[in-house]
Structure 1
Amino acid sequence: MADILNKIGSFSSEMGAEITAYDPISQELFVVSGGTEVQVLDLSDPTNPTEVIPPIDLASLIPDIDGANSVAYSNGLLALALEASTSTDPGKVAIIDIAAYKNNPADPNALTVVQAGPLPDMLTFTPDGTKILVANEGEADDGIDPEGSISIIDVSGGIATLSQDNVATADFSAFNGREAEFRAKGVRIFPDKTVAQDVEPEFIAVSSDGTTAFVNLQENNAFGVVDLESATVVDILPLGAKDHSQGQPTLELFEFNDLPVLGTTEGGQEIKLGGLSGLFYEGTDPATGNLKFVTVPDRGPHGKPTDVDGDGSKERPFALPDYQAQVIRFELNPSSGEIGITETIFLTRQDSTTPITGLPNIAGVDEEPVDLSGNLLPLDEFGAELEGVVIAADGTFWMVDEYRPAIYHFDTNGVLIDRFVPQGTAALAGAAVGTFGTESLPEEYANRRRNRGFEAVALDPDENILYAFIQTPLQNPDRATSNNSDVIRILGIDTTTGNAVAEYVYLLEDPAFLSGGRVDKIGDAVYAEDGKLFVIERDSAVGDTAKKFIFQIDLTAATNLLAPDAPTLPTGSTLEQLSADDLDALGIQAVNKIKVTNLPSIGYLAGDKPEGLALLDDGKLAVLNDNDFGVLEQEIPVDGSVP
């Protein structure tokens, strides 16, 4: 194997060499080794580096320093991060006009020193050279644990007039009191420490426009995001707890081709099968080696809410009003990549005849349905927006929907066995109990956001518990609460009775620093074993910077809020109003999360909705995306067509 690097020259020094900075114009290299001296080398002839000037003895120029931990160079200025003699005391940053110093080391304008935070461990310039950023590690020593911080030094006016007034500090004190929240997200914070004490800034990278810094919090398994204009740490982003014994995830992509036509719009547009939400793995065909799956389209193709009648309220247009909810069986040949649909099971009510449509249930509570010409459509008390599916050992289907939310149970032929809805559902419509199904679920679940009810379902076959995941935090008691909550409820029902027997808190990893909207949605879930499940958590963005996380979660140590000894919430409070630290103070333990991957990071860029997740026999995960039937998210023209 050919050598990648070939040594062409070297320079020997008893001082050693640890950190370097390079000036490409003068071709000079500045070297520090943890001591108090800086070497300046001429690399114009890289085969024969030579010393430009004698080493700069910082200890003779600056009192009470222990050594230089970092060096950086830009636009004629050399910056050095200097640790204090007592490492827990504030450190210093020395800024040298290197040309002036070489001309006259005694020139008072050649060197300026400002104070930084304890243990300045690394520094760098912004791309335009106008700011120096310093990572103050604040490492504990001898029983003293100073706070970590980032110093931002404005050198745009040069160093002749530079003073401490030109130094701003971005600290982490605003995050104190949120320790449980960050621990739940995978940030390592010791039990007896505040966030500001425990974080230890180690290294800094700067955005190309010089407005944002990303600071490695090495000991905390996270990094901070700093707005340089305001000198504010805007967020702490976890790198996630990971099981590295599983290796790096890899991706294989398979596409559906030649999907059948589902129907034709009033305007003559053919709409193909799509909108696939939920995924269940049935096993491998021993004869063909094909992988066998089950999925469900949601409520059928629909357009973006549009004010079709000019009343100031937007209605929900349905492209195929006669769409009947259905189960799709398909097989994947992993060798050829071919996918074939093998069976379609249409879903009906208990009379085996009446179709279950995708139309909403309750007037004034659900969206008002219309066709593509703006005509009002009838409601369907059992209409479903199906989003997840599992198959029990007896071959019956369990599904969840977003409308009520509801849990459906169908026999092997697609005939409804029962539908479980929140208590008080019939009262919302002024109807008799039972009109919309068996009211066995907790009443609070009726506070779902519109079309953000149950999104994922998973079955524990050993305990006969079916777990349904709310897609987005409940608007409990209002929409503002939902918008600001990280609490996802996981509800477990006994499959033999339909009664709720378990409820757990799942905390979203929802950063304040984001590019694609909130990470506030569950995509799907699948049960693994021993109380462990895999879960998709996502935002609404597309592209390689989108957030489509897969976590493995563990219920075993989490608090079952329906257990007799479960903690009681404060009077007048709901789960969604409580922070992770509030929950921790009450003794409520959320499910444990280990990050498996972020799908776009391994090349999965199939839209914004990975909403199917299945676990294969060999431990691989299968992910299916919802393409919304190929209908664009645009208001309809009210002419019988969809965009």
Structure 2
Amino acid sequence: MKILNFTLCLLSAAVISSCDNNEDKDKFVLPVVANTGIALPYTVLGTGNNVEIRNGGFGSAACAHPKKEGEFYAMTDRGPNTDATGGKYFPSPNYTPRIGHFRLNNDGTVEKLAEILFKTPSGTPISGRPNPAGFGSTGEIAYDLTGAVLTTDEYGLDSEGLVAMKDGTFWVSDEYGPHIVHYSSTGVQLERISPVGINTGTRKLPAVFAKRWANRGMEGLAITPDEKTLVGIMQSRLYNPSNVGAINKTLTRIVTFDIATAKTKQYLYKQEIDNNSNSEITALSATQFLIIERDGNFSGDGAVMKHIYKIDISEATDVSGTDFNAENGLLVNGKALEANTWEDLAAANIKPVTKTLAVDVFKYLGDYPHDKLEGIWLINSNTIGIINDDDFGVWSDATNKIKAKTLSPTKGTERDGNRLYILKF
């Protein structure tokens, strides 16, 4: 697939004027940034088993500040966690997921201006621990590092997709419910939208989205330029009707949500590799978007795929079906969509979104050492910033509940960290 030589055409508050005012010393001027990127600042959150846990993690999503040039938001996920049998270890069990407000300075440094912590409707900070049954549970069990089971959190969030509105509020998608949550400018929950059957409010997503694969939920969220429609993308295939039954391992779903009416539509996105990860979606227009599709590999260990695609939903088939409450969604040949091949779906006149490779990030930069490319900041009409998720600088292996996350699981000792890379077209 050819790399698209494209210009991002978009009228939005993120577009930076080409006018140069030499008299305004505070005017944002996009600095020249090396292909090795810029480190985001972090503090030390604490330690676990003598391993430094970083109060970074600002890479699960990114988006432009809707009014201020040179400023962007980047978001954490549920907090530091590592693999455990049947669930996750949470070395900082009460960590509150949050949004970081950042500025790219004219001298090429990144400055953190503020943090916005997510809170319940009453204003109490939430945690990133899993939801209880009936409120978006994935079945994951949360443990502390001693192995003790932690309590669930009705308002817990594994935040992954971020939208910043002109009125100062935020919309966030997550991997539990999956939920789409509306937060005030100070992080107080205003509304929580979840699939049918989850007890979080009256406005709903189609029931089939509750079939998400644990830790592979609604990874990306965008808003159309008119701020009327939310657009969410699932990281990977749904387990629909089950893990074994979902034979089409490249079929993923996009859902649109009309904020005023709560009406939804669904479209299919075809991944390049089985069980790949869609990590971000950013709107260029009402029908065109940028999508991050990636594997989970480090370049230090071999070949990697870190691609950004331009997609168009205008000619794709709406696969919502007629029953919003159907557990398995629209059926084709008497089977869930994920239980059909792409050939089966084409025979039923179902078209996925069109996609064109916009940039191969590894080739563009000459290297991309991180495993998780997850955030896009649309800077101006021909420039984007991309950010990786560093997992708070920790992970685990077969013998360690927690260890320092490096840029390769098999070689090297350099710690992973959030970095901003600038790509011009």
Same fold (TM over 0.5): yes
How far is the alpha carbon of 1:251 from its aligned partner? Answer: 7.4
Q: Does the alignment pair 1:590 with 2:352?
A: yes
Q: Does the alignment pair 1:473 with 2:237?
A: yes
Question: In 2, distance between residues paired with 1:532 and 1:340?
Answer: 31
Question: In 1, distance between residues paired with 2:229 and 2:286?
Answer: 12
Q: Which residue does the alignment assign to 2:408?
A: none
**Pair 519,368 (structure 1): closer, same or farther in 2 beyond 3 Å:** closer
Residues 193-223 of structure 1, C-alpha deviation per residue, up to 9 Å, x if partnerless?
A: xxxxxxxxxxxxxxxxxxxxxxxxxxxxxxx
The one-letter amino acid of 1:546's match is: V
Q: Does the alignment pair 1:380 with 2:150?
A: no
Question: In 2, distance between residues paired with 1:251 and 1:509?
Answer: 29
Q: Does the alignment pair 1:573 with 2:346?
A: no
Q: Which residue does the alignment assign to 1:297?
A: 76
Among residues 300, 304, 313, which one is paired with 1:555 in the alignment? 313
**How is 1:52-63 mapped onto 2 (pairs within 5 angstroms)?**
none
After TM superposition, the structure 1 stretch with the greater mean CA deviation from structure 2, 603-612 or 400-409, is: 603-612
**How is 1:156-167 mapped onto 2 (pairs within 5 angstroms)?**
none
Q: Which residue does the alignment assign to 1:346?
A: 117
**How is 1:363-512 mapped onto 2 (pairs within 5 angstroms)?**
365-425=138-198, 434=199, 436-438=200-202, 440-462=204-226, 464-482=228-246, 484-497=248-261, 499-510=262-273
Q: Which residue does the alignment assign to 2:304?
A: 546
How far is the alpha carbon of 1:636 from its aligned partner? Answer: 6.7
Contact 1:372/1:636, CA 8 A, preserved across alignment? no
Residues 145-187 of structure 1, C-alpha deviation per residue, up to 9 Å, x if partnerless?
A: xxxxxxxxxxxxxxxxxxxxxxxxxxxxxxxxxxxxxxxxxxx
How far is the alpha carbon of 1:336 from its aligned partner? Answer: 2.5
The one-letter amino acid of 1:531's match is: T
Cα RMSD between the aligned structures?
A: 2.7
Contact 1:251/1:604, CA 8 A, preserved across alignment? no
Question: In 2, distance between residues paired with 1:474 and 1:600?
Answer: 28
Residues 246-299 of structure 1, C-alpha deviation per residue, up to 9 Å, x if partnerless?
A: 69xx974432254122x224545442122221000116856xxxx211011101
Q: Which residue does the alignment assign to 1:66?
A: none
**Pair 378,635 (structure 1): closer, same or farther in 2 beyond 3 Å:** farther
How far is the alpha carbon of 1:348 from its aligned partner? Answer: 0.6
The one-letter amino acid of 1:493's match is: F
- TM (normalized to structure 2)? 0.80
Among residues 124, 127, 139, which one is paired with 1:357 in the alignment? 127
How far is the alpha carbon of 1:561 from its aligned partner? Answer: 2.3
Q: Which runs of 5+ in 2 are unaligned?
A: 9-32, 324-328, 405-425
Question: In 1, distance between residues paired with 2:87 and 2:204?
Answer: 30
Contact 1:304/1:635, CA 8 A, preserved across alignment? no
**Pair 468,280 (structure 1): closer, same or farther in 2 beyond 3 Å:** same
The one-letter amino acid of 1:537's match is: E
Contact 1:387/1:400, CA 8 A, preserved across alignment? yes
Question: In 1, distance between residues paired with 2:7 and 2:121?
Answer: 45
Q: Which residue does the alignment assign to 1:273?
A: 55
Q: Which residue does the alignment assign to 1:316?
A: 88
- TM (normalized to structure 1)? 0.54
**Pair 505,257 (structure 1): closer, same or farther in 2 beyond 3 Å:** closer
How far is the alpha carbon of 1:545 from its aligned partner? Answer: 1.9
Question: In 2, distance between residues paired with 1:525 and 1:381?
Answer: 27
Contact 1:387/1:455, CA 8 A, preserved across alignment? yes
Residues 25-57 of structure 1, C-alpha deviation per residue, up to 9 Å, x if partnerless?
A: xxxxxxxxxxxxxxxxxxxxxxxxxxxxxxxxx
**Pair 258,502 (structure 1): closer, same or farther in 2 beyond 3 Å:** closer
Question: In 2, distance between residues paired with 1:642 and 1:448?
Answer: 28
Q: Does the alignment pair 1:617 with 2:396?
A: no
Question: In 1, distance between residues paired with 2:149 and 2:254?
Answer: 35
Q: Which residue does the alignment assign to 2:293?
A: 537
How many equivalent residue pairs?
369
Q: Percent identity among equivalent residues? A: 31
How far is the alpha carbon of 1:337 from its aligned partner? Answer: 2.1
Question: In 2, distance between residues paired with 1:555 and 1:600?
Answer: 26
What SS does the aligned partner of 1:479 have?
coil
Q: Which residue does the alignment assign to 1:525?
A: 281
- Higher RCO structure, 1 or 2 (CA under 8 Å, sep 6+): 2
Q: Which residue does the alignment assign to 1:626?
A: 389
Question: In 2, distance between residues paired with 1:341 and 1:380?
Answer: 28
Residues 489-541 of structure 1, C-alpha deviation per residue, up to 9 Å, x if partnerless?
A: 001111234x242111111112xxxxxxx461101110001410000111111
- Rg larger in structure: 1
**How is 1:132-281 mapped onto 2 (pairs within 5 angstroms)?**
240-244=1-5, 252-256=35-39, 258-261=41-44, 263-265=45-47, 267=49, 269-275=51-57, 276-281=59-64
Structure 1's consecutive aligned runs of 4 or more residues displaced over 6 angstroms after TM superposition are none
Q: Does the alignment pair 1:337 with 2:108?
A: yes
How far is the alpha carbon of 1:351 from its aligned partner? Answer: 0.6
Contact 2:79/2:97, CA 8 A, preserved across alignment? yes
Contact 1:392/1:461, CA 8 A, preserved across alignment? no
How far is the alpha carbon of 1:618 from its aligned partner? Answer: 2.8
What SS does the aligned partner of 2:397 have?
coil
